[in-house]
Amino acid sequence: MTRPIHLFVSSSPDLDAERDGVGQVTAALPLTIGWRISHTPTPAEGGQDGSGRVEGCDLYVLILGHDFAAPMGAEMRRAAKVGRKPLAYRARVAYSPAAQEAIRASDVEWKAYSGAQEFLPLFRRDLVRALLRAAPTWGLELREVERLMELMRAADAAAAAGQADQPRGEAGRSAVILGREVWKGGK
């Protein structure tokens, strides 16, 4: 695969820290391939659903906060229609009736977390696992797979020790992360 990995994040509008964390975690991975990250648009961005982007994504992430906003439902249905199983997370908060129904009615394995500090290591481990499962599909090199395996071991050790990452801000918007080969003049 020579194109960037497309990650689509469907999330509640109240999850700025988690959206930011997805960008930070993804950018920090030791890969030469680039990323294209798309998010559910926030109400300030026009609130249009991103369901068309879900269909073409390589990885689908679903993060639920207080409310299951209208665009999320359309995105989730489109993802299910094309066979995209999400990496799914839900904040431990008071849920709106729509969020309660989404949790109850969806055929999704939700991972609960308390705050962005707990979300980041969960997401990192799941993302690395997904990358390792599909490494041949995305053309990851042996040294990248080895680095990802090292990251997985370190993440497991940190989780066992109860350590958490700190969100840093400014990465919660849709973006393109260029692969290292662009900067080194390769491919």
What pLDDT score was predicted for residue 55? 83
Closest CA to 10 of 52, 107, 124: 52
Gyration radius of the chain over CA positions: 16
Report the C-alpha gap between 50 and 104 in whole angstroms: 23
**pLDDT at 167 exceeding the cut of 60:** no
What pLDDT score was predicted for residue 161? 76
Work out the pLDDT band at 69, boundaries 50, 70, 90. confident
**pLDDT at 180 exceeding the cut of 90:** no
Ranges of each domain in the chain: 5-174
User: Tens of pLDDT along 3-55?
Assistant: 899 999 999 888 999 999 999 999 999 998 889 999 887 666 655 555 557 88
> What CATH class is the domain 5-174?
alpha beta
User: Tens of pLDDT along 100-155?
Assistant: 999 999 889 999 999 999 999 999 999 999 999 998 888 888 999 999 999 888 87
What pLDDT score was predicted for residue 53? 78
pTM of the model: 0.80
What pLDDT score was predicted for residue 43? 64
Choose between 172 and 176: higher pLDDT.
176
